[in-house]
Amino acid sequence: MKIKLRFADNREKEISDLSELKKQLKKNGAIAVRLDSGLKDLDSIKEITLQASVEAITFDSIDGREIYRHSTSHVMAHAVKELFPAAKLAIGPATEEGFYYDFDIDRPFTLEDLNTIEKKMTEIIKKDNQFIRKTIPKKDAIDLFKKMGEDYKVELLAEIADEDVSIYEEGGFVDLCRGPHVPSTGAIKAFKLLSIAGAYWRGDEKKKMLQRIYGTSFSNEKDLKKYLDFLEEVKKRDHRKLGKELDLFSISEDIGPGLILWHPNGAIIRKTIEDFWMDEHLKADYKILYSPHIAKLNLWQKSGHLDFYRENMYSPMEIEGIEYELKPMNCPFHISVYKNSLRSYREFPIRYAELGTVYRYERSGVLHGLLRVRGFTQDDAHIFCREDQIEDEILNILDFTLFILKTFGFDSYDIYLSTRPEKYVGTLENWERATSALKQALEKKGLSYEIDPGEGVFYGPKIDIKIRDSLNRAWQCSTIQVDFNNPERFDITYRGSDGKGHRPIMIHRALMGSLERFFGVLIEHYAGIFPLWLAPVQIRILTIAERHSDYASEIAKVLKGEGFRVETDLENEKIGHKIRETTIRKVPYLVIIGDKEIAEGKLAVRKRSGENIGPFTTNEFIGIIKSEVDSKQ
């Protein structure tokens, strides 16, 4: 017998007997193996009889973490069934950062329940129960789970085409599962249950609401603590929490979920973002458009949205016997502007840009502050060009995108090339040409990317850029899409140098994506501590006593005249209290005015970090902050 064993670090070793293989796997922390036929339980190595290739799967790999965490979800389900025997099991998959399990139970779980479940899980783990895989006929499995009263498992089994299915047992607890799992419950070294949420069965809001318990697990307590500390930092940065504390935005039940009210502090940041966006687009030879919020329904039929996007659109409204629709996209409007004139090849490329508000029907269960909403503004643009201009335009867009992202403090990102989905329009030839154009541009820029198969939009392939924030979390914002299809659907043409009509290529792109989502990401990226150029209030002037108010007001007037966002605090309060209040509001600069400042004609300046700088004359201070605003640091 010859066995080739590959370790997690890609080292390889040839082994001649199973006992040595088991020893090596245990020594290297394997929790499962990959055989020629795929991922298997560690115990499956006893089935090896001929020459085989075995890969050790450890927690440090993506597959290993999924196996480990899915095994932890089984232990949690076991604990729940022991504590709440009437609870019915639904599904319990691993997630990117942990796991969850859905239960049908006659009352909501409480935080106290989580503590009790954790204790029971610890007992099960200490028993070191072996995970035992059994393959049985599907009909026997259905009988078994019917007898156990596990209706959801029976429903899942009915949809499995195979005649045989696998179940796992540990310590008397049985669950339907493909596996693999860790060898025994004792392999789970560190875990934590995190939260409770409601979840519809199969994600269908017409079906029963179940109780979902989220948790996570790691191979050691140190890494678990590090992750829990990370979650605490995430909570501190939550844009919904900071949005309220800094008075940036709100969502009113009177108006409706997923619809954002921008408060003055948030609105001034939005204006700053929009002004920067507008200025840079004009410099880059884009033409600015504005378009209506509704259009005739047949426009969306022509664009293909009714066929491919209907579930994300709202019900039509009738106006004078004609059906209209809230716009989910801006592209058909930009096409209409293009078609308003005869076009020549000499005009190309034509670049239209719009901060266009669109409306998407998102289920209430997925709405999340600014990050998932029903009405949002896209920094949208559509470029019409000749086929020979595609690559140059994509290169320009990539440069423009990375410049915009860097200006807002995002230097790290992941790039994906999303290819043709199952449902699509257009010819395979056009899809291949569009995909090739995107790929060539990425490679010409020397940008690393991954293929995201089948994730293109129905009308064309795309490049997606996922920015990474200060906590290294990925956020989807920027996208570039090549579209051969809408020009065909809307029959748009241009007159070429040969005097004949030709079909232009259309490129869709968004640099920030949704302004609402981008703002939510910015809040969490900066933890509400915005750089000076974005801060809603840039300077706050604090007086030590009432007699300093007139001088403070004069300074405020001068600073406002220079274009800075300034507030004054002239209240008869102690200066320490004023400083604390201003620091809580995360204002970048505090200017303190007292007798000395008035006598010397200078300003005592303090940064929000607590660092005292200066003193400065008013003109010196203006020079310092102008330089900081202009550099956008």
Cis status, amide bond into 531, omega within 30 of 0: no
Q: Residue 142 is which amino acid?
A: I
Confirm whether 4 is a catalytic residue: no
Q: Start-end ranges of CATH 3.30.930.10 in the chain?
A: 283-526
Among residues 175, 177, 281, 378, which one is catalytic? 378
Query: What is the rounded distance in angstroms from the CA atom of residue 236 to the CA atom of residue 238?
Result: 6
Could you tell me if 179 and 168 are in contact, meaning their C-beta atoms sit under 8 angstroms apart? yes
> Quick one: DSSP state of residue 352?
E
| Segments of the chain assigned to CATH 3.40.50.800 | 539-631
Give whole-number Cα distances, 454 to 332, 417, 421, 552, in Å. Answer: 24, 10, 4, 61
Catalytic residue among 240, 281, 360, 525: 360
Look at residues 28, 88, 90, 91 and name the one whose alpha carbon lies nearest to residue 64: 28
Give the torsion through C-alpha atoms of 330, 332, 338, 341, to 10 deg. Answer: -130
Task: Give the 3-state secondary structure of residue 360.
Answer: coil
pLDDT at 16: 72
Task: Give a three-class secondary structure readout of 531-598.
Answer: CCCCCCCCEEEEECCHHHHHHHHHHHHHHHHCCCCEEEECCCCCHHHHHHHHHHCCCCEEEEECHHHH
Q: Would you call 378 a catalytic residue per the annotation?
A: yes
* Catalytic residue selected from 372, 382, 517, 578: 382
Q: Where along the chain do the CATH 3.30.980.10 domains lie?
A: 65-230
Sort strands 209-218 and 249-250 into parallel, antiparallel or unpaired. Answer: unpaired
Please tell me the distance from the alpha carbon of residue 522 to that of residue 469, in angstroms, as a whole number. 8
What pLDDT does residue 219 have? 95
Please give the pLDDT value at position 170. Answer: 96
- Rounded to 5°, angle at Cα 518 from 563 and 246: 60
For the chain, the distance separating the N- and C-terminal CA atoms, rounded to the nearest angstrom, is: 64
Question: Which amino acid would we find at residue 144?
Answer: L
> Looking at residue 168, what is its pLDDT?
96
What CATH number is given for 3-58 in this structure? 3.10.20
Task: Note the pLDDT tens digit of each residue in 163-192.
Answer: 999 999 999 999 999 989 999 999 999 999
- Report CA-CA distances (Å) from 54 to 41, 425, 458: 12, 43, 41
| H or E element at residue 335 | helix 331-339
> Parallel, antiparallel, or unpaired: how do β-strands 322-326 and 294-296 relate?
antiparallel
Name the active-site residue from 40, 175, 331, 525.
Answer: 331
> CATH class for domain 65-230?
alpha beta
HSE-up (13 A, CA, CB side) for residue 565: 17
Q: Catalytic annotation on 476? A: no
Write down the pLDDT at residue 606. Answer: 95
> Quick one: CATH architecture of 283-526?
2-Layer Sandwich (3.30)
Residue 310 designated active-site: no
Task: Order the strands of the 539-543 sheet from edge to edge.
Answer: 566-569, 539-543, 589-593, 603-607, 612-616
Are the CB atoms for 404 and 398 separated by under 8 Å?
no
Annotation marks residue 331 as catalytic? yes
- State pTM to two decimals: 0.87
- Ranges of the chain whose pLDDT falls below 50: none
Which pLDDT score, from 0 to 100, does residue 614 have?
80
CATH topology (fold) of 539-631: Rossmann fold (3.40.50)
The two three-digit tokens of residue 275, written as one number = 């002004």
For the range 153-158, what are the long-range contacts, defined as Cβ-Cβ under 8 Å and sequence gap of 24 or more? 153/89, 156/91
- C-alpha gyration radius of the chain: 30
Q: Which of 379, 380, 469, 483 is catalytic?
A: 380
In percent, how much of the chain has pLDDT > 90? 80
